Each structure stands twice: as structure tokens, then as C-alpha cells.
Amino acid sequence: MPAMETWQNILRDSITTYDDLKKHLGCDNPAIHDVISTYPLRINPYYLGLIKKPGDPLWRQAVADPDELCDTVCQSDPLGEEKLSAAPHLVHKYPDRVLLLVNGQCAMYCRFCTRKRMVGTERMTISPKSLRKAYDYLRNNPQVREVLISGGDPLLLPDEMIGDILAELRSIPSIEVIRIGSRVPCTLPMRITPRLVGILRQHHPLYINTHFNHPLELTEEAHRACSLLADGGIPLGCQTVLLKGVNDSLEILKELFTGLLRMRVKPYYLFQADLTRGTDHLRTHSSVGINLMRGLLGHISGMALPTLALDAPNGKGKIPLTPQYIIQQGEKLEFTNYLGEICTYPEAGDPI
Ligand SMILES: *Cc1c(COP(=O)(O)O)cnc(C)c1O
Ligand code: SF4
């Protein structure tokens, strides 16, 4: 057996039970037992160290909450991913790109996860052999030019397996771009090692979209991880989820998005929370996100601005939720600017 790497040791020491929560965070509500037996718990020592007090923004993302079992509104598979599966672990929703789920494990089980019905459970055991059918599908469907590798977290797989998956995808001539979705730069930044980056950089054009939700996650370690990836020539994006009591405030989002930009991570999406069973207590009204975007647009660098998007229920796709700036269209276009001032622009040509 090769020696365990630092990140593997950290992961092994994760807390996973109600007794662990009691011991480390002083939780005292036996109802949490039932929550964990439905939706697994994993908080690794790195992320645990960032939690400062009960109910703080990192606590709310990581610690099992009895409210998870009181959700009667949301659905177990809100994005209809099972219906849209073209092959095992492969979701084909849009014509030119697919989502390939390669791993069921994560460095932390986020309480708001869209795939909380399956992450960390038996339902998501994925073997390299079971991915064969997905590769065959991609070979037979050359209209697919981009593969989005996700999970669970792809970067929790061993280096060699990541290299094999990437090499397999790269051997399909019609695949132009590979995109990896991974939360480890945020939840277990030690996983980003020079050796891993050495493997990833052999498969350009490769993009990574990571996932930070709060400025307190932008630590020295996270910065180091993102720098290693960026120095490997990997463009970095961030898919943040808007969550009640975590980041539903203008000051927090400003700090998060400008901080990400300093770490060479471009905010890509700010997601309206999905309609995921067990997460209703973390959702916000759509007007909250739209108003927050109004407070950001024009007030911080355009480079730091994500698109606020709603992933429509039942696999209907991502819909941008944009504040309304247009007042009316006629001979002149009338609109407000970022300060709320009314402006006009004389039209040219005929309307279409
Ligand atoms: C989100 C998603 C994508 C990628 O969409 P982009 O807008 O290109 O980021 C692809 N496939 C599925 C199934 C998705 O849910
Ligand atoms: S890291 Fe991503 S896939 Fe894993 S639990 Fe968190 S949100 Fe879900």
C-alpha cells in the first residue's frame, strides 16, 4: 500500500456521527440521529476548524439539522436527473454538453446538496467499469463537445483514477472541453497537490468550477489550492448557492465575489437553491436573489459578477434571474442604470 497522503489522513478523521457532533460541537438534540441515518454526515477536521459557533454560516452548511426531516415541499430528484440519464451516471440535458457523475463521495456532505438523496450512500457507488457505457455513449454522440465531470466530488478519487477518466475522455475526438466540478478547493484544499495538478494539466482545455459560499471559506489554504490550479493553466470558476442564513446578504456576497476574484476564481453562477427534499429551510424567496444582484451589478467589478440562475424543476434547464432595467421599448429605449437613474437610448433601424 502506498503511504496515505495528508489529505487522506484528514478525511479519515472526519466526524460522521451524532456522538461526534456532541463531542466536537456540543450538539444536543437526539433527533439528529435520524437525520444522519437518512442523509449522511461528514465534516472533515479542516472544515470543522472553520466553524466558530452554533448556527454560523459554515455550521449551517455542514451540520445536520432536524429541519431536514420536516420538509414536505421539495422533491428528492428536483432536476429530473434520473429521467434524463442517457447511460448510467450520465445526464444528457442540453444538446452539446453532458454531466458525468464519477464519484459518490465528498470531502463534506453539504446539507443543501442537490444530490443529497444519493451522495455518500450505496446508491452512488460508481466503478470505473460502470463508466464504460457512458464512454460508449459519448463515442456514439459526437454532437457532445463538452463533458462536465461531477459527483459527489471527482477530485476525491485517487490521482491515477482521475488521470484514467481524463485520458479516456480525451481519446474521444468530439470532446473539445472538459470541465470538472469540485468543492475540494473549499472543503479540503490540501487535496490539491502538485502531483494532482501535474495530471490535470495534461488534459487541457480543462476548466474547474469550484464552490465557495462564504468569505470565511477563503482561507490561506484555499488560496494556495487555487493558486496551484491557476498556475497549472486551469481557468477557475465558482458556483455559489444562495442560502438562507449563510450568504443572503449584500455585504457577504460582495466580500465573497471580490475575494474569489483575488484568488483568480471567476464567479460563474449564483444559484437559487434547488427544490431538493431536506433543504427547504435553506431556500430564499426569488426576490431576495434578484435584489442582491441589483446591489452587485455596477457596484463591484463585472469580473466578480456571477449570473443568478435557477435550475428549473424537472430538468427544464438553467434560467437566468436578472433584475429588470428596461422600462420601455419604443422609439427610444428607456431604462434605469445601476444607481436607479432613468436613461434613454435612441433606437436605430426597425424592431425585429
Ligand atoms: C448545469 C448543467 C450543465 C451545464 O450547464 P452550463 O450552463 O453550461 O454551466 C450541463 N448538464 C446538466 C445536466 C446540467 O445540470
Ligand atoms: S460537495 Fe457538492 S456534491 Fe458534495 S455534498 Fe457538497 S454540494 Fe453536494
The CATH number of residue 163's host domain is 3.20.20.70
User: Which residues in the chain come in under a pLDDT of 50?
Assistant: none
In this prediction, residue 58 carries a pLDDT of 98
Rounded to whole angstroms, the Cα distance separating 289 from 296 reads 10
In this prediction, residue 123 carries a pLDDT of 81
Same domain, yes or no: 136 and 174: yes
* Cα of 106 from ligand 2 centre, angstroms: 6
Same domain, yes or no: 315 and 333: no
Same domain, yes or no: 350 and 245: no
Same domain, yes or no: 72 and 110: yes
On whether residue 41 sits in a domain, the answer given is no
Please state the pTM of the whole predicted model: 0.97
Give the per-residue SS3 of the chain.
CCCCCHHHHHHHCCECCHHHHHHHHCCCCCHHHHHHHHCCCCECHHHHCCCCCCCCHHHHHHCCCHHHHHCCCCECCCCCCCCCEEECCEEEEECCEEEEEEECCCCECCCCCCCCCCCCCHHHCCCCHHHHHHHHHHHHCCCCCEEEEEECCHHHCCHHHHHHHHHHHHCCCCCCEEEEECCHHHHCHHHCCHHHHHHHHHHCCEEEEECCCCHHHCCHHHHHHHHHHHHCCCCEEEEEEECCCCCCCHHHHHHHHHHHHHCCEEEEEEEECCCECCCHHHCCCHHHHHHHHHHHECCECHHHCCEEEEEEHHHCEEEECCCCCEEEECCEEEEECCCCCEEEEECCCCCC
Same domain, yes or no: 229 and 342: no
Atom of ligand 2 nearest to the CA of 241: 7
Same domain, yes or no: 269 and 347: no
Rounded to whole angstroms, the Cα distance separating 55 from 193 reads 32
On whether residue 49 sits in a domain, the answer given is no
Please give the tally of structural domains in the chain.
2
Domain span at residue 348 reads: 325-352
pLDDT tens-digit map of 193-250: 999 999 999 999 999 999 999 999 999 999 999 999 999 999 999 999 999 999 999 9
Of 187, 192, 239, 217, the closest CA to residue 44 belongs to 187
Contact 113 CB / ligand 2 (< 6 Å): yes
Atom of ligand 2 nearest to the CA of 114: 8
On whether residue 9 sits in a domain, the answer given is no
Same domain, yes or no: 137 and 221: yes
* Cα of 202 from ligand 1 centre, angstroms: 24
On whether residue 48 sits in a domain, the answer given is no
On whether residue 43 sits in a domain, the answer given is no
Q: Classify residue 63 by burial, with Cβ atoms within 10 Å: 0-12, 13-18, 19+.
A: buried
Atom of ligand 1 nearest to the CA of 268: 9
In this prediction, residue 128 carries a pLDDT of 77
Same domain, yes or no: 199 and 249: yes
* Cα of 112 from ligand 2 centre, angstroms: 8
Same domain, yes or no: 150 and 280: yes
In this prediction, residue 2 carries a pLDDT of 64
Same domain, yes or no: 196 and 95: yes
Whose atoms come closest to the Cα of 41: which ligand? 2
On whether residue 177 sits in a domain, the answer given is yes
Same domain, yes or no: 332 and 185: no
Contact 110 CB / ligand 2 (< 6 Å): yes
Q: Classify residue 196 by burial, with Cβ atoms within 10 Å: 0-12, 13-18, 19+.
A: buried
Residues 6+ apart with CB under 8 A from 62: 43, 47, 48, 51, 108, 110, 111
On whether residue 112 sits in a domain, the answer given is yes
Contact 218 CB / ligand 2 (< 6 Å): no
In this prediction, residue 1 carries a pLDDT of 56
Q: What is the dihedral of CA 105, 110, 113, 116, to 10 degrees?
A: 60
Contact 120 CB / ligand 2 (< 6 Å): no
On whether residue 35 sits in a domain, the answer given is no
Same domain, yes or no: 315 and 345: no
In this prediction, residue 122 carries a pLDDT of 82
127, three cell numbers: 466503478
Contact 93 CB / ligand 1 (< 6 Å): yes
